[in-house]
A = this chain, B = another copy of it.
Amino acid sequence: MSNRFFPVMPSLTTHSLHPENQESPIHFLKKRVIDTPLFYKRNHFPYPLLTHSNYWLPISGSVKKPTIFSLQDIINLPSKTLNVLLECAGNKRHFFEPKTFGEQWEKGAMSQGYWTGVPLRTLLDYSGIEAGAKEVVFEGYDFGTQPELTKMHRYVRSLPLVKALHPDTMIAYEYNEQPIPYKHGYPLRLIVPQWYGMASVKWVKQIIVIDSSFQGPFQTKDYVYYPHKNSNKDSYPVTTMHVNSTIQQPLHMEILRTGIHTIEGIAWTGQGEISKVEISIDNGETWADAKIMKGSKYEWTTWTYEWTVHQQGEYTILSKATDSTERTQPYTAFWNRKGYGYHAMDHITVNIK
């Protein structure tokens, strides 16, 4: 229905400009690799100003030999390239009931593509790690204030040693075979497959190995699940992505004709791999398996389901993914005060005319 003279392109959806937060048009992303203009943008602070000509990456702290890498040093090391899905911990926050405060991300605070870089463990092999080391801290160049912070803070996060040393945790310098775009972390971005996106620190300024638990606000105040509205009881940190799925087509509240429709979408998990996607066209009464097309380990899985519908009326369609560790999507999301990790079954309603 389109035509070559007047091409139609989907757009990001703007949630805020200062800092810049825009989500991907997820229903219209049908490729395995998302081009930069459609990659979601999620920032805590204004874009930092780096003096690139003088870029060095220091590793210090509980290391045997503090080490400083130039960009060229890093590029000269053996690299790896992985298609990695990044999903903001606040993805789908909009759908929590009761509503939770913060950016009202719908379903598109996620994107994926090829990241190329050096395994972090390669760099840590140069510096060595002291015996008592517990975590590795990543400091970004971005800093500022927020309503919930009482003073200026840099964006800083840590990883436990076991995740930091995972061979696929990397210091990336390319996205889709180009230098990482500035807004996505140029020149160096930490990429942590399987964890929510807050772990993948942009504009990495320095790496510090510590022998304690890092206590920065983006580790101990934000990116924490608080199951209760008025107390911090039972809280625990946001880490790996939940098993999840999104129906890309048809669209919610779409009007369709009787006949055959392809229901299609994506599924993903931060643990193991997607083993099954089930579809219900009667709001959960009955289920059928979708056909799943696996990609590489850290990509989303695409799926389709051919739906033949003869009867006019309204249908509520659900998608439910299950992963190889037996995790599955609940009907109702696990509510938490800051609205992280929404992963209830996806649902849309269509009207057949």
Q: Residues of A with Cβ closer than 8 Å to B?
A: 1-3, 5-6, 8, 10-20, 22, 25, 27-28, 45-47, 49, 99-102, 104, 144, 147-148, 182-183, 251-257, 349-351, 353
Residue in B6, B256, B257 whose CB lies within 8 Å of A182: B6
Distance, CA A106 to CA B230, complexed state (A): 31
With A14-B11, A252-B104 already in contact, the answer to whether A144 and B349 are too (CB < 8 A) is no
For the complex, what is the distance from the CA of A3 to the CA of B12, rounded to whole Å? Answer: 20
Contact of A10 among B14, B45, B47 (CB under 8 A): B14
The CA-CA distance from A251 to B11 in the complex, in Å, is 20
- B353 in contact with A148 (CB, 8 Å): yes
Please determine whether B49 and A5 come into contact, CB atoms closer than 8 angstroms: yes
Name 26 A/B residue pairs within 8 A (Cβ), A-sorted: A1-B18, A1-B144, A2-B17, A2-B46, A3-B47, A5-B47, A5-B49, A6-B47, A10-B17, A11-B11, A11-B12, A11-B14, A11-B22, A14-B28, A15-B251, A99-B349, A100-B253, A101-B254, A101-B255, A101-B351, A102-B253, A102-B255, A104-B252, A147-B255, A147-B256, A147-B353
Least distance between A154 CB and chain B CB atoms (Å):
15
Q: How far is the CA of A47 from the CA of B5 in the complex (A)?
A: 9
Complex partner residue of A11 from B1, B13, B100, B101, CB under 8 angstroms: B13
Q: Chain B's nearest CB lies how many Å from the CB of A138?
A: 21
A28 to B14, CA, bound (A): 9
Q: Which residues of B contact A2 (CB under 8 A)?
A: 17-18, 46-47
Chain multiplicity (copies): 2
Q: Which residues of B contact A100 (CB under 8 A)?
A: 253
Task: Tell whether, in the assembled complex, residue A6 and residue B254 are in contact, meaning their CB atoms are under 8 Å apart.
Answer: no
Complexed CA–CA distance, A183 and B8 (Å): 10
Q: List the 7 closest pairs (A to B, CB-CB), nearest first.
A: A1-B18, A10-B14, A6-B47, A13-B13, A11-B11, A11-B12, A14-B25
* B11–A17 CB distance below 8 A: no
* Closest B residue to A104 using CB positions: B253
Q: Is the CB of A18 within 8 A of B8?
A: yes
A19 CA to B21 CA in the complex, in Å?
27
For the complex, what is the distance from the CA of A102 to the CA of B182, rounded to whole Å? 38
Chain B residues in 8 Å Cβ range of A349: 99
Within the complex, the shortest CB–CB distance from A91 to chain B, in Å, comes to: 15
Collect the chain B residues with CB atoms within 8 Å of residue A27's CB.
14
Given contacts A11-B14, A99-B253, A101-B351, list 9 more A-B pairs with CB under 8 A.
A1-B46, A1-B144, A6-B47, A6-B183, A8-B20, A13-B13, A147-B255, A147-B353, A148-B255
Q: How far is it, in angstroms, between the C-alpha of A207 and the C-alpha of B263 when the chains are bound?
A: 42
> A17 and B22 in contact (CB under 8 A), knowing A2-B46, A3-B47, A147-B256?
no
Shortest Cβ distance from A183 into B: residue:
B6
Contact residues in B for A351 (Cβ distance below 8 Å): 101
Contact A49 B8, beta carbon cutoff 8 Å:
no
Chain B residues within 8 Å of A182, by CB = 6
Which residue among A8, A27, A351 has the maximum number of chain B CB atoms within 10 Å of its CB? Answer: A8
- Contact between A19 and B1, CB atoms less than 8 A apart: yes
Minimum distance in angstroms from A97 CB to a CB of chain B: 13
Considering the complex, give the chain B residue whose CB is closest to the CB of A16: B251
- The answer to whether A46 touches B353, judged by C-beta atoms less than 8 angstroms apart, is no
Question: A2 vs B17: C-alpha distance in the bound complex, in angstroms?
Answer: 8
Interchain CA distance A144-B2 in the complex, whole Å: 12
